[in-house]
């Protein structure tokens, strides 16, 4: 199993529990993901959980040969930014755009960090815990209409 290699390579920088790797420091993310990309060839998904005042980012990787799954967990403060992994896994580009759209996480060195689901001029980031759906937001159309 690859997990032993992780333990040899990174020591106590990662905490390994079954197939979940928890990173102690977000600066190690790029190094760990580069190592992961040697053995795993697809990024399944990026799951973000907002536990105020922290964001929990879960990168889930897999490979085609035996459907092995590995999960990398990073915690950042909700005011910090984090490095983009889109130059290692190309499909992370849209996943990170969605995370930016819904949570407002800024990914450094992302080639094209725009909103992906909501309109460009939409106010706020709706999946944050402190976001409240007010009447104003409910009736917002972004259109200047008179009829």
Partner 1 sequence: MKVDDAVPNEFSYPGLGEIFITNTRKFINKVLSWGRANSLWPLTFGTSCCAIEMMVYGATKVDADRLGNLFIGDSPRQADMIFVSGTITKKMARRLLTVYQQMPAPKYVVAVGACNISGGLFWDSYNVIDGIDRIMPVDVYIPGCPPRPEQFLDAVKVLQKLINENKTRGGVYGPREI
DSSP string for 66-102 = T--EEEEEEEEETT--EE--TTTSTTHHHHHHHHHHH
In whole angstroms, the minimum distance from the beta carbon of 126 to partner 1 comes to 5
Dihedral sign for Cα 87, 93, 97, 103, please.
negative
122 contributes a contact to partner 1 by CB under 8 A? yes
**Token output for 85:** 């992994």
Cβ neighbours of 4 (radius 10 Å): 9
Q: How far apart are CA 54 and CA 80, in angstroms?
A: 9
Of the listed pieces 15-23, 50-58, 63-71, 125-133, which binds partner 1 according to CB under 8 A?
Answer: 125-133
94 contributes a contact to partner 1 by CB under 8 A? no
114 contributes a contact to partner 1 by CB under 8 A? no
Of the listed pieces 5-13, 40-48, 76-84, 131-139, which binds partner 1 according to CB under 8 A?
Answer: 131-139
The residue from 10, 41, 126, 130 that contacts partner 1 (CB under 8 A) is 126
Are 127 and 142 within 8 A, CB to CB? no
Beta carbon nearer to partner 1, 81 or 104: 104
Of the listed pieces 15-23, 41-49, 60-68, 134-142, which binds partner 1 according to CB under 8 A?
Answer: 134-142
Q: How far apart are CA 143 and CA 137, in angstroms?
A: 13
Q: Which residues form the interface with partner 1 (CB under 8 A)?
A: 117-119, 122, 126, 131, 133, 137-143, 145, 147
């Amino acid at each position: 199993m690859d997990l032993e290699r992780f333990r040899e390579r990174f020591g106590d920088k990662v905490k390994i529990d079954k197939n979940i790797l928890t990173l102690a420091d977000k600066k190690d993310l790029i190094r760990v993901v580069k190592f992961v990309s040697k053995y795993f060839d697809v990024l399944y998904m990026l799951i973000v959980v907002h536990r105020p005042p922290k964001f929990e980012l879960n990168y889930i990787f897999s490979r085609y040969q035996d459907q092995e799954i590995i999960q990398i967990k990073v915690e950042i403060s909700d005011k910090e930014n984090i490095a983009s992994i889109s130059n290692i896994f190309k499909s992370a580009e849209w996943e990170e755009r969605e995370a930016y759209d819904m949570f407002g996480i800024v990914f450094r060195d992302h080639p094209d960090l725009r909103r992906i689901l909501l309109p460009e001029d939409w106010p706020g980031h709706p999946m944050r815990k402190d976001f409240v759906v007010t009447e104003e937001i409910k009736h917002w159309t972004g259109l200047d209409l008179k009829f």
